[in-house]
Amino acid sequence: MSTSIRVVLVDDHAVVRAGLAQFLTASGDIEVVGTASDGAQAVAVVSETRPDVVLMDLQMPGTDGVEATRAICRDVPGTDVLVLTSFSDSERIHGALDAGAVGYLLKDADPDDVLAGIRAVSRGESPLHPKAARALLGRRAEVRPTLTVRETEVLGLLQAGLSNKQIATRLGISDRTVKAHLGSVFARIGVQDRTQAALWAERHGL
Give the type of residue at 77: P
Q: Which helix (H) or strand (E) is 103 found in, with range?
A: strand 103-106
Q: For the chain, state the CA radius of gyration.
A: 22
SS3 of 8, please? strand
DSSP state of 123: T
Q: For the chain, which residues score pLDDT lower than 70?
A: 1-2, 137-145, 206
Q: Parallel, antiparallel, or unpaired: how do β-strands 53-56 and 30-36 relate?
A: unpaired
pLDDT digits (tens, 9 = 90+) for 23-68: 999 999 999 999 999 999 999 999 999 999 999 999 998 889 999 9
pLDDT score for 117 = 94
pLDDT score for 1 = 41
Q: Which domains does the chain have, with CATH numbers?
A: 5-141 (3.40.50.2300), 149-203 (1.10.10.10)
Q: What is the DSSP string of 147-168?
A: --HHHHHHHHHHHTT--HHHHH
- In whole angstroms, what is the distance from residue 126 CA to residue 117 CA? 8
pLDDT score for 126 = 84
- In whole angstroms, what is the distance from residue 12 CA to residue 186 CA? 42
pLDDT score for 139 = 60
pLDDT digits (tens, 9 = 90+) for 157-168: 999 999 999 999
